[in-house]
Chains A and B, each alone.
Chain A
Amino acid sequence: MFRYIFRRAAWSVPTLMLVTFMVYIALRIGTNPVESYKRINPRATKEKIQEYIDINGLDPNYVKGYFTWLKNFLTGNWPRSIKGSREVWPALKDAMANTLRLGTVASVVGIFFGLITGVFAALKPGGRRDIFFTTSAFVGISVPPFISAILLQLLFAVYWQRWFGSSLFPTSGVYPAGHVGFNLFLMLKFMALPTIVVAIQIVAIYSRYMRSSLIEVLNSDYMRTARSKGISERRILFNHGMRNALIPLVTIAALDFGSIVGGLIITENIFSYPGMGLYFLKSFGEGDFPLLMPWMVVIVSSVLAFNLLADIAYAWLDPRIRLE
């Protein structure tokens, strides 16, 4: 087991390098960092431009440039943002913290309700409750997040204010302008709408998967064996049903990491929530190579880490998997 985890973890290093190399090339072609620099800093001298090229590893030769970038990245010699005004790490760190908070709350809420509705739907397939939950989940995955975001904003912020004098939830930011320090109540209030938008997607995804997975398990022979033992329905459902139904969901959780982050990016942008998504869209729009590359490294690492975690969890949950 440990050897397997170690080997998988070791493999993710070359994978990470390969993927970041591909991302590097894509960004070089797609955002043309040197031109972006010249555009944003029109009065930059030749030396300034050369300095920017050197520290960012923007050599015309992609391979050479990539390794320059990698060396600087690993040794902590991180360049400043394209305008030279911002340190990358503090900006990235704040964005990560904000997104992690939003993503975690939304995931916990979303997975919880998703699993519950999925189970209720699966217990009586074709029943009224099933049809309600299934249809809702279907609408949930069909409606893109920006639409639910717009409609929620319209309802709870704008029209609520018109009807009742003050808006129920604010539409942007983490704290009101000028606020300093930590305030849990304010933070939750500001997080409410974006959390709902992201959670809708998660509830819908998990509800559907949970339902089909559990229905398959409930129809299996070993459930009949369990029932023939005369044990309580609750024990049958949890100890035999859920225990098996959750196994495939683990893989799905890892695969859907990307789509959840995607939803976060969109949501953050609409609510001006200063997280990874807003960070990305802003720096991508400006062709800010020094900000973009570390962001990509974080995302690629998380994708790989989630896949690894899913594999480990899968093996842990399912004794049939032998890790050799």
Chain B
Amino acid sequence: MKNKVLEIRNLHVTFDTPSGPLEAVRGVDLDVAEGELVGVVGESGSGKSVTFLAAMGLLPSMARVTGSVLLEGEQLIGYTPKQMRSVRGRLMSMIFQDPLSALNPVHRIGAQVAEMLQSHQHLTNKQANIRAVELLDIVGIPQPEERARQFPHEFSGGMRQRVVIAIAIANSPKLLIADEPTTALDVTVQAQIFEVIERIQSHFKTAVVLITHDLGVIARFADRVDVMYAGRNVEQGTVDNLFEHPSHPYTRGLLASLPRPGKARLLPIRGFPPNMVAPPTGCAFRTRCDFAEVICEENIPELQPFGDLLTACVRANELPKVWA
């Protein structure tokens, strides 16, 4: 296997709320190899964004993070804020969900890109500006020199997301985390953004984590998939394996709820995501699972090899096979 860029082990994130501690991430394991595009899927509240914000050190101070996050073999948990700053934006960077609000409205586009460059490289203003224009060109912004002098409000949503990408890749990071980068955009623009990300990934050999709830996007772009539910991994595997023989009931449910040509009826997963202040004992999905038995209440299932996948279901062996 190729070198691991990111290695998350047993990550826990807890928020202190007036109603008691809320554990948003409850022991996540995840690897990302060099040049790989890993998709992370889950409903909102499944902890997928929080996991990576924790890795970036971007959570508010009321969050308690424990476990292990190795970036290129360096343990990030326990880093001082200053050490964390030198990692952020240099070794790994992040693309956010809503490009409309992710850019500072009062600074020029070029300056926002240049700021990222100058925070980790010794560049004069002039050098930084030239490089910023090149980056805008790379992410496919026409007339980058003129556009660099404009403000965010003069850009469309898709163009702004390209700017956010340009900022994120400015220092050629090893790892790029894209947190639902197209949720706020038109469908037609979505494909363009993913093409930009894909191009960058193949060109710079950057490892990419794509956080999304859109399985279609995963199927089209990702190498491997990690499915999350209620702050835990429930299934991991390559895209082909996972889409062809999903074994965890939650993954099956996700795939069954996907529209497909010729499919007469969509089968939604019944029920609602659990309340994370008091999640169900044992397997968090059991309250919505068609195959739940008494045994599911006992222990929190760990990821186990099952066929070509890693699955966190104690009954994985007993379930009927599906052939999608």
Contact = CB atoms under 8 A, between A and B. Distances in A.
B105 A231 contact: no
Contacts, number: 73
Contacts of A231: 85, 89, 115, 119
Given A240-B104, A317-B106, A228 B94 contact: yes
18 contacts: A220-B101, A221-B101, A222-B104, A222-B105, A224-B58, A225-B102, A228-B168, A229-B93, A229-B167, A230-B86, A230-B119, A231-B89, A231-B115, A239-B107, A240-B107, A244-B104, A319-B105, A320-B105
A93 interface: no
Contacts of A240: 104, 107
A71 to B, nearest CB: 47
Interface string A232-263: 11000001100110010000000000000000
Interface residues of B, number: 30
A216 interface: no
Contact of B102 (A221, A233, A239): A221
A242 B63 CA distance: 25
A229 B96 contact: no
A318 B153 CA distance: 11
Interface in B60-94: 81, 84-90, 93-94
B296 interface: no
Name the residue among A232, A239, A240, A319 with the largest chain B CB count within 10 angstroms.
A319
A226 B106 CA distance: 13
B243 interface: no
Nearest to A228: B94
B228 interface: no
Given A225-B96, A225-B167, A244-B104, 17 more contacts: A221-B96, A221-B102, A222-B102, A222-B104, A226-B104, A228-B58, A228-B89, A228-B168, A229-B116, A230-B87, A230-B120, A231-B89, A232-B85, A239-B115, A318-B105, A319-B151, A320-B151
Interface in A126-174: none
Given A224-B58, A319-B153, A229 B106 contact: no
A292 to B, nearest CB: 44
A227 interface: yes
B153 A221 contact: no
> Which A-B residue pairs are the 10 nearest by beta carbons?
A230-B88, A230-B89, A221-B101, A319-B151, A222-B104, A230-B85, A229-B89, A231-B119, A320-B153, A229-B116
B18 to A, nearest CB: 11
Contacts of B101: 220-222
Contacts of A318: 105-106
Chain A at the B interface: SS class: helix
Interface in B232-279: none
A313 to B, nearest CB: 13
B164 A225 contact: yes
Contacts of B105: 222, 244, 318-320
Contacts of B120: 230
B28 interface: no
Interface in B96-115: 96, 98, 101-107, 115
B151 to A, nearest CB: 4
Interface of A: 220-222, 224-233, 239-240, 243-244, 247, 317-320
Contacts of B151: 319-320
A227 B116 CA distance: 10
B312 interface: no
A244 B102 contact: no
B56 interface: yes
A232 B84 CA distance: 11
A239 B114 CA distance: 14
Given A228-B88, A230-B119, A231-B115, A319 B106 contact: yes
Contacts of B85: 230-232
A229 B56 CA distance: 10
Contacts of A320: 105, 151, 153
Interface string B144-177: 0000000101000000000010011000000000
Contacts of A244: 104-106
A247 B104 CA distance: 13
Contact of B104 (A225, A228, A317): A225
Contacts of B115: 229, 231, 239
A239 B94 CA distance: 20
A228 B106 contact: no
A129 to B, nearest CB: 15
Contacts of A222: 101-105
Contact of B88 (A227, A233, A319): A227
Contacts of A239: 107, 115
Contacts of A221: 96, 98, 101-102
A227 B153 CA distance: 21
A225 B164 CA distance: 9
B93 A228 contact: yes
A320 B88 CA distance: 29
Name the residue among B86, B90, B93, B106 with the largest chain A CB count within 10 angstroms.
B106
Contacts of B107: 239-240, 243
Contacts of B58: 224, 227-228
Nearest to B99: A221
A228 B86 CA distance: 10
Nearest to B91: A230
A226 B90 CA distance: 13
Contacts of A317: 106
A225 to B, nearest CB: 5
A228 B84 CA distance: 10
